């Protein structure tokens, strides 16, 4: 049935929503205030959408491919309402947990600054290698030939990266993903998803990939963390330290977003003499914190902790850093382990840090900083701290993944 609707609001998944007496109608790509027409399906979703009356907040898309995939589905929305919507997502999520805080304006991240990509590789027509992202809510690959959110140095490498991926597509069950990271010393690529049960890629395939990586001047090429070729050690700068990033090692997607997180963490913990940095990775927060306090750093990744330790001697004027590899889900640091810590930072994966938060709540630290890529798990963990006597003072949303539906945040708690 063809029907016409006025879009009332933006949903959490980036769909325009028209509220009707029969229930919400979802329109992908529509903006609040727009009049749209389309085919209404049984799932209450419009297809074959036409924009009858566009919003004044509609902007031209930067990339047709990015409009189609799930990486940047909101690039057609003006910055001010888009950033306000991201803030509203955080406010609503906190409210559902009964939490109140000063939620600051969303910190914007410029386009063309993303330094980390996960590119899927598939064999296309006439054997051509396609690199790209999956279409929104689909397994279909959308080829990317330009990348408006990424650092231009990564965009320029797309043809060369396709040639690097080519040898790993020989097995029909292989579905390679290239984890591409721009570091201080060049581009690092770790490839996963290559079929290994039949013996993995042949020596000839590996040799061809290594040759292409060298021709592209990659710093390093690895397969599931096993180094195949390294021209230069990929290194990243955290504070005053230069850290050797392990293959496939985690790095915040945007340097600007990382700087905003570090700035707020440093300000919140200023004056503390001993700080715990939990889920520390290779030291994103550890090294800046060590400029003003002693730091206990813990993470479940042994490779990340080894990288952090290797970076300790590269920075001048740093306080003592005690780094330990520890599964903080199964063996969270206890109040005894956190004895003497005046501040605690935790930056867990999307699932949050339920068990570790319970231990933090029973410790004596007066300040806790939560960094999160998932407002829902953050709010759940925040509830534990608030129930234990902390006040959620401020929350800062950060738009690290430009034009996406994802929002990151930094929350500051004080007793």
In terms of CATH, what superfamily is 2-58? Answer: Nucleic acid-binding proteins (2.40.50.140)
At 231 the three-state DSSP class reads: coil
As beta bridge partners, residue 10 has 16
Give the residue-averaged pLDDT of 125-133: 92
Confidence check: pLDDT of 100 > 90: yes
What pLDDT is stored for residue 64 in this prediction?
A: 72
Confidence check: pLDDT of 172 > 80: no
Confidence check: pLDDT of 66 > 70: no
What pLDDT is stored for residue 177 in this prediction?
A: 96
Give the residue extent of every domain in the chain. 2-58, 83-110+253-414, 116-235
Mean per-residue pLDDT of the chain: 95
Give the residue-averaged pLDDT of 280-305: 98
What pLDDT is stored for residue 360 in this prediction?
A: 98
Active site residue 280: no
DSSP 56: T
Dist. CA 134–CA 120, nearest whole Å: 8
pLDDT confidence tier of residue 203, bands split at 50, 70 and 90 = confident
What pLDDT is stored for residue 1 in this prediction?
A: 85
End-to-end CA distance of the chain: 57
Per CATH, the number for 83-110+253-414 is 3.40.50.150
Give the residue-averaged pLDDT of 9-24: 95
- Predicted TM-score of the model (pTM): 0.94
Dist. CA 349–CA 354, nearest whole Å: 11
> What is 116-235's CATH number, 3.10.290.10, 3.40.1360.10, 2.40.50.1070, 2.30.30.280?
2.40.50.1070
Among 89-98, 165-174, 264-273, 379-388, which is the least confidently predicted range?
A: 165-174
What pLDDT is stored for residue 67 in this prediction?
A: 64
Give the residue-averaged pLDDT of 208-213: 97
Confidence check: pLDDT of 121 > 70: yes
Give the residue-averaged pLDDT of 159-177: 91
Confidence check: pLDDT of 146 > 90: no
pLDDT confidence tier of residue 190, bands split at 50, 70 and 90 = very high
Pairing status of strand 177-183 against strand 116-123: antiparallel
What pLDDT is stored for residue 296 in this prediction?
A: 98
What pLDDT is stored for residue 198 in this prediction?
A: 65
Q: What percent of the chain has pLDDT over 70?
A: 98
- For the stretch 42-62, pLDDT in tens is 899 999 999 999 999 999 988
83-110+253-414 matches 2-58 in CATH topology: no
What pLDDT is stored for residue 140 in this prediction?
A: 83
* Catalytic position from the list 147, 280, 341, 373: 373
Q: What is the DSSP string of 226-245?
A: EEEEESS--EEEETTEEEEP
At 310 the three-state DSSP class reads: helix
């Amino acid at each position: 049935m063809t029907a016409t609707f006025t879009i009332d609001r933006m949903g959490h998944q980036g769909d325009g929503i028209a509220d009707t007496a029969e229930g919400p109608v979802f329109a992908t790509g529509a903006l609040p205030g727009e009049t749209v027409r389309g085919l209404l399906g049984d799932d209450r979703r419009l297809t074959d959408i036409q924009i009858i009356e566009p919003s004044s907040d509609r902007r031209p898309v930067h990339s047709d491919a990015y409009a189609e995939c799930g990486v940047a589905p909101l690039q057609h929305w003006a910055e001010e309402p888009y950033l306000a919507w991201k803030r509203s997502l955080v406010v609503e999520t906190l409210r559902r947990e009964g939490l109140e805080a000063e939620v600051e304006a969303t910190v914007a991240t410029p386009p063309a600054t993303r330094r980390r990509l996960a590119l899927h590789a598939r064999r296309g027509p006439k054997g051509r290698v396609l690199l790209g992202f999956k279409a929104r809510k689909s397994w279909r690959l959308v080829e990317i030939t330009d990348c408006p959110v990424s650092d231009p140095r990564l965009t320029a490498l797309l043809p060369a990266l396709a040639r690097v991926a080519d040898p790993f597509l020989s097995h029909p069950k292989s579905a390679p993903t290239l984890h591409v990271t721009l570091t201080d010393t060049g581009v690092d690529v770790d490839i996963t998803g290559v079929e290994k049960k039949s013996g993995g890629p042949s020596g000839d395939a590996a040799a061809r990939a290594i040759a292409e990586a060298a021709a592209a001047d990659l710093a390093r090429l690895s397969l599931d963390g096993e180094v195949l070729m390294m021209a230069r050690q990929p290194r990243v700068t955290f504070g005053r330290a230069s850290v050797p990033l392990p293959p496939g090692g985690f790095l915040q997607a945007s340097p600007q977003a990382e700087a905003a997180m570090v700035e707020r963490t440093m300000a919140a913990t200023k004056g503390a003499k001993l700080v715990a940095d939990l889920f520390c990775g290779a030291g994103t927060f550890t090294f800046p914190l060590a400029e003003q306090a002693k730091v206990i750093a813990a993470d479940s990744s042994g490779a990340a902790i080894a990288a952090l330790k290797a970076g300790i001697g590269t920075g001048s004027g740093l306080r003592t850093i005690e780094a330990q590899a520890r599964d903080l889900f199964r063996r969270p640091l206890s109040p005894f382990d956190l004895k003497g810590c005046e501040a605690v930072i935790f930056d867990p994966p999307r699932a949050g840090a339920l068990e570790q938060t319970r231990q933090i709540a029973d410790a004596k630290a007066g300040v806790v900083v939560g960094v999160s890529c998932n407002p829902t798990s953050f709010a759940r963990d925040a509830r534990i701290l608030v129930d234990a006597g902390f006040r959620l003072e401020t929350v800062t949303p950060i738009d690290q993944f430009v034009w996406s539906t994802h929002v990151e945040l930094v929350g500051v708690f004080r007793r």
